[in-house]
Amino acid sequence: MGIYSAAERMILMLLYASGGKILGKLWFQKEMFELSKAFKDVAEELDFDAYSYGPFSEALDEYRDMLENSGFIEDLTLTEKGKEISARFWETASSDEKSLIKNVVNFFENLDSDELLLYTYVTSPQMAERSEVKERIFRRRFNIAVRMLREGKISIGLASKLAGLPLSEMLRRVTNLGIKPFDAQGDLEGEN
33-57 tens-digit pLDDT: 999 999 999 999 999 999 999 999 9
**Residue 125 domain-assigned (yes or no):** no
Residues 185 and 192: their CA atoms lie apart, in Å, by 8
Spatial contact of 35 and 101, defined as CB atoms under 8 Å apart: yes
Q: Number of folded domains in the chain? A: 1
| Residue 66 forms part of a structural domain | yes
In a domain, 122, yes or no: no
Looking at residue 183, its pLDDT comes to 55
Report if residue 44 sits inside a domain: yes
**Burial profile 171-189: b = 16 or more Cβ within 10 angstroms, e = fewer:** bebbeeeebebeebebbbe
| Residue at 71 is within a domain | yes
Q: Per residue in 92-139, pLDDT tens?
A: 999 999 999 999 999 999 999 999 999 999 999 999 999 999 999 999
Whether residue 29 is contained in a domain is answered as yes
For 168, list phi and psi in degrees, rounded to 5. -60, -40
From the list 54, 192, 183, the residue with the least C-alpha distance to 117 is 54
In a domain, 77, yes or no: yes
- Domain residues for the domain of 87 are 6-110
Does residue 30 fall inside a structural domain? Answer: yes
- How crowded is the C-beta side of 111, counted as CA atoms within 13 Å? 28
From 45, 47, 44, select the one nearest 57 (Cα to Cα): 47
